[in-house]
Structure 1
Amino acid sequence: MNKYLLSAGALFVGTSAALAHISLETQEAAVGSTYKAVLRVPHGCEGKPTTALRVQIPEGVISVKPMPKPGWTLQTKQGRYEKSYQLYGEAVTSGVKEVDWSGGSLPDEFYDEFVFRASLAADLPAGETLYFPVVQECEGAAERWIEIPAAGQDEDALENPAPGLKLLPKK
């Protein structure tokens, strides 16, 4: 067999698992900046269409504004932050803790994106990764993309990884 075909086959197998989970389009952002989170949904659950998507917002991600999707109901769940953050010179102590899109139908054979905008607090630790646990609901099934790696654990070892955002130093 041709060595190039073997390499291409290995590349396809290696990337197909990585493409199978919900991920963030932009996986790095500077602390203290505005961030546009684009959650990429590449498939349904066990062949069934996606009917809801819920994303938990990690601490330090503030001033969240989700983008409505035609045909979907959009709701947010509010809550108190663990501490006070500064945003445009004002103290912010509560905000969106979860974003829920529901009531739509994204067939398994199609791909779509779910978007929200947020501010990344200036005191978040650069060099670390923030995780956005996501629950993808389908007709009679669900996928829980909620696994967060333990210290020193490789994200690729997780079966259902939460989408991650690497924090870069403030610009």
Structure 2
Amino acid sequence: MLFSVLTVPAALFVSATVQAHVSVTSKTAFAGSYYEATLAVPHGCDGDDTYKVVMTIPGTFGKVRAIHSSFGPSSIETIMDGETITSYTVTWERSGNVSEADTESYNFGFRTKLPDTPFTSIHFPTVQYCRDDETLEESTSEWVGTAGHDHDSTSDELPAPSLFIYPKRYPGWNQYTVDEHIHDLSVFDDAEIVWFGTSAYSSNPVTMEMIRADGNAGVLEQIHPGSEIWVKY
């Protein structure tokens, strides 16, 4: 059966597309681990340069520390509801004048401990503040949309940067129970193969052809909450 014979490592294909949105671009995030994240701001607002960025991090994360940036100083505000931390607000503000035109991109970093919530996408609502070099007129871009895979959503909000939390893994087979609906199986592109029941997925096109050709197997296209899956790394 295909489950037992597929042991060839899958190829990992990395896209070289340019990030047009404000996004979190960092290494794989494992649930419950200490993590250093990078917030990438690839452009300004309507032709004006960025002078301030304000990011909200959920309170389910551990203590947040901003990483020093040549952009300017940072500050962190901890938002409380009684004795419970509800969120952290991290602000990076430019220490000098803005550029004459929107010609630069910026990276902002922070360190934290990730929540133990595997197979979830965490959103970081972010507001980008820009300023015209001559008139000093200000503008903003609000990256706060969290519609995600809600196909019925008509929201025109700019998408908030997000981070997918992976479960802890070991070389070989791993068994997981998935509590979230996973529409995009590319989150498993660094795995050799993913099995649910008799359906399977792999980023390796050769492996996918083997799955399609196997009369006892089907192609796995999405994973529903409560599913028990097997993943081989």
TM exceeding 0.5: yes
Deviations 1:28-63 (Å, cap 9, x if unpaired)? Answer: 411101111101111110110100000000231111
How do 1:9-158 and structure 2 match up within 5 A? 19-26=19-26, 28-80=28-80, 93-94=84-85, 97-104=88-95, 105=98, 108-122=102-116, 124=117, 126-139=118-131, 140-149=138-147, 152-153=150-151
Which 5+ residue runs of structure 1 have no aligned equivalent?
Answer: 1-11, 84-92
**Greater RCO, CA 8 A, separation 6+:** 1
Which amino acid in structure 2 is aligned with residue 22 of structure 1?
V
Q: How far, CA to CA, are the matches of 2:82 and 2:62 in structure 1?
A: 12
Q: Which residue of 2 aligns with 1:8?
A: none
Structure with a larger share of its residues in helix: 1
SS for the counterpart of 2:113 is strand
Preserved CA contact (<8 Å) 1:76 1:96: no
Which amino acid in structure 2 is aligned with residue 153 of structure 1?
H
TM-score (structure 2 length as normaliser): 0.54
Q: Larger Cα Rg: Structure 1 or Structure 2? A: 2
- Residues 68 and 143 from structure 1, CA distance in 2 versus in 1: closer, same or farther, beyond 3 angstroms? same
Calculate the aligned-residue CA RMSD, in Å: 3.0
Aligned-pair identity in percent equals: 29
Which amino acid in structure 1 is aligned with residue 128 of structure 2?
Q
Which 5+ residue runs of structure 2 have no aligned equivalent?
Answer: 1-15, 132-137, 170-233
Which amino acid in structure 1 is aligned with residue 162 of structure 2?
G
Q: How far, CA to CA, are the matches of 2:21 and 2:149 in structure 1?
A: 21
